[in-house]
Amino acid sequence: METVFHARISKFMNASQRKPYSSAVSVFHGRWLPEEASPAGYAALIDAYELPVPLPRRLAAIGPRHKVYQADDWNIYTPRHTPDADLIGHLTFALRYEGLDLAALKALFRATGPDPITDIVRASPTGSYARRLWFLYEWLLDTRLDLPDATRGSYALVVDPDRQWATGGATSTRHRVKNNLPGTPAFCPMVFRTPALDAFVARNLAGEARRLIAEVPADLLARTAAFLLLKDSRSSFQIEGEDPPQDRIQRWGQVIAEAGRRTIDRAELERLQRIVIGDARFVHLGLRAEGGFVGEHDRHTGAPIPDHVSARHEDLPELIDGLTAFDRGAARELDPVLAAAVPSLRLRLYPSFRRRERPSPPLSHSSCSCRARLQSAWLGFPCFCRHPGSGR
């Protein structure tokens, strides 16, 4: 019986798969399920291929009852939603019910190699899910699969705009899809739609802010902005436990005031950093040249106790280039509410030489443009981010 059991499982496994897809469990990677259920979609793929990526905040599983519901960090689906126990089955389930997790997809594509994705497309050349996977493979890995250009099939959206925020997009005639991803392979923040975000976007806060500002005398607005900037600067240093000289607080306020006035790129970010630091004799300006983390050290051994491990310093130039491209492209289509949500992922990158960073309030400076918020974050100050899609 044991031999027959493993033989039946092995037909669903390819060479790159590390273990069979999970059966019903009560605990998955340390997370309790609301009831015994079988992981599906990204959860099943991450487990079976042992992908080195963070688990999505919300996972999916197939429960025993004919009831779809959410509980804790799980979406539980019915037996009729059960995907085929193979790569295309779980990938299709993920795209249909979970949206795009670019980190998981990139790690999966690296694990499988090109052949399984090529086989999926050849088996269903007009299928929208197959063509979306084909596009995502080439887009994320910058690799061209051994496939001819698609000639049939309706143009499919890469991002489901009912599930995640997307841009207007541009057509890819090779795959017959519309690339509405909000970024580039180096920096592409995926923001899920929620009732709260939809409600805020519907309020047109940008228009409301412009209307209110138009009613305030210019000199009063300038004095108020200067006061708030100085107060915020002092608070930033106090939370860090620092007591900087007055001129450094003023320089920080100057940088915040200038944020958003120029197109973001590495040279502009380094210029802002020089203004803040002032005397650079004892610090290294620019991108980190070594690893970094946010946290403390053990008082006895000196060993690091990280709360967050920063992006690899080798990746920073590419990530900054991706951020620059994002600022000049997709960011211009974002509602200010989303522009405020995107930089709240700032600790993902953490590109500076600084040892610690204070996270800013999630919606601070929410009336500013995305460029203003991202520029204000440069090199060790709040609001910088990276997308998980680089898979690093």
In 3D space, the residue among 356, 382, 384, 379 whose CA is nearest the CA of residue 280 turns out to be 379
Asked if residue 383 has pLDDT above 50, the reply is no
Q: In the CATH hierarchy, which fold is given to the domain comprising 202-390?
A: Fic-like fold (1.10.3290)
Nearest-angstrom CA–CA distance, 33 and 256: 44
230 or 297: which leads in pLDDT: 297
Q: Within 13 Å of residue 50, how many CA atoms lie on the same side as its CB?
A: 5
Report whether pLDDT(2) > 50. no
Domains of the chain, residue spans: 1-99, 113-181, 202-390
Give percent of the chain with pLDDT exceeding 70: 80
Kindly tell me the burial class for residue 378, based on how many C-beta atoms sit within 10 Å of its own C-beta (0-12, 13-18, 19 or more): buried
Tokens of 173: 């005639």
The whole model's pTM is what? 0.78
pLDDT digits over 132-163, tens only? Answer: 999 999 999 999 999 999 999 999 999 999 99
Helices (H) then strands (E): counts for the chain? 14, 10
Segment 324-336 shows an average pLDDT of 83
Characterize the bridge pairing of strands 59-62 and 69-71: unpaired
Task: Label residue 351 by pLDDT band (50, 70, 90).
Answer: low
pLDDT digits (tens, 9 = 90+) for 169-190: 899 999 999 999 998 998 898 9
DSSP 49-116: TT--SPPPSSEEEE-SSS--EEETTEEEE-GGGPPPSSHHHHHHHHHHHT---HHHHHHHHHHH-HHH
Q: Where are the beta strands (DSSP E) in 2-98?
A: 25-28, 31-40, 59-62, 69-71, 74-77
Question: Is 388 a residue whose pLDDT tops 70?
Answer: no
Name the pLDDT band for 348 (thresholds 50, 70, 90): very low
For residue 247, pLDDT over 80 is answered with no
Using alpha carbons, select from 250, 225, 226 the residue that is nearest to residue 236.
250
> Tell me, what's the pLDDT at 371?
42
